[in-house]
Homo-oligomer: A and B are copies of this chain.
Amino acid sequence: MSSSTEFSLAEAVAVLTRTPAALDALLRGLPNSWVYCNEGKDTWSAFDIVGHLIVGERTDWMPRARIILDHGEARPFDPFDRFAQERESQGKSLEQLLDEFARLRKENLAALRELNLQSEDLTRRGRHPALGSVTLSELLATWAVHDLTHLHQLSRVMADQYRDVVGPWKAYLGVLQCNGHSAP
């Protein structure tokens, strides 16, 4: 079974539902050396990534879904602030962020269910401020892949700490060859 080209709301929700517990299992209680390490200047740590996911829950996915349903393409989405977590995570612990992410995700998935979206709703269009016309299904698929892109980033950020200490095995470890693709 190779790539699918179909979007399924139930499939996307299955991923979205699992991300908070997966990040919790991976990160809660880890030594600070893993939690606050990054890949160098202007790159993100595990702490930054969880903060960014929280900002997405607050300002991106469901707010944009509602804009599509209420206004269609007439009202473009508000731009997403990719750096808001620098302010909003200040003074919080990783454990607080993990709890907050889990709570917001749960609330958002409950709100998504309440919309009771039908297949014709998924083709409705909105306007992204930079990308132009997009559909509701593209937004919801992106929500799920956005989780995966940050899991991908997180594994790379953590692995990077051990780039030297793995010695000659470096050649076999694909994650150490990943340069981040100029995006998470």
Contacts and interface: CB of A to CB of B under 8 A. Distances in A.
Interface of A: 1-8, 10-12, 14-15, 18-19, 21-27, 29-31, 33-34, 36-41, 45, 128, 131-132, 134-135, 137-139, 141-142, 144-146, 148-149, 151-156, 158-169, 171-178, 180-184
Contacts of A131: 167-169, 171
Contact of A152 (B12, B40, B165, B174): B174
21 contacts: A1-B37, A1-B38, A3-B163, A4-B165, A131-B167, A132-B168, A137-B165, A138-B168, A145-B162, A145-B166, A145-B173, A145-B175, A146-B173, A148-B175, A149-B155, A149-B175, A152-B152, A152-B156, A173-B183, A173-B184, A177-B182
A24 B24 CA distance: 12
A150 to B, nearest CB: 8
Nearest to A167: B138
B149 A174 contact: yes
Contacts of A8: 31, 33
Contacts of A156: 148, 152
A30 B184 CA distance: 24
Given A3-B39, A151-B155, A174-B184, 18 more contacts: A3-B40, A3-B164, A25-B25, A128-B168, A138-B168, A139-B169, A141-B162, A142-B167, A142-B169, A144-B162, A145-B162, A145-B176, A148-B155, A149-B173, A152-B156, A152-B175, A152-B178, A175-B184
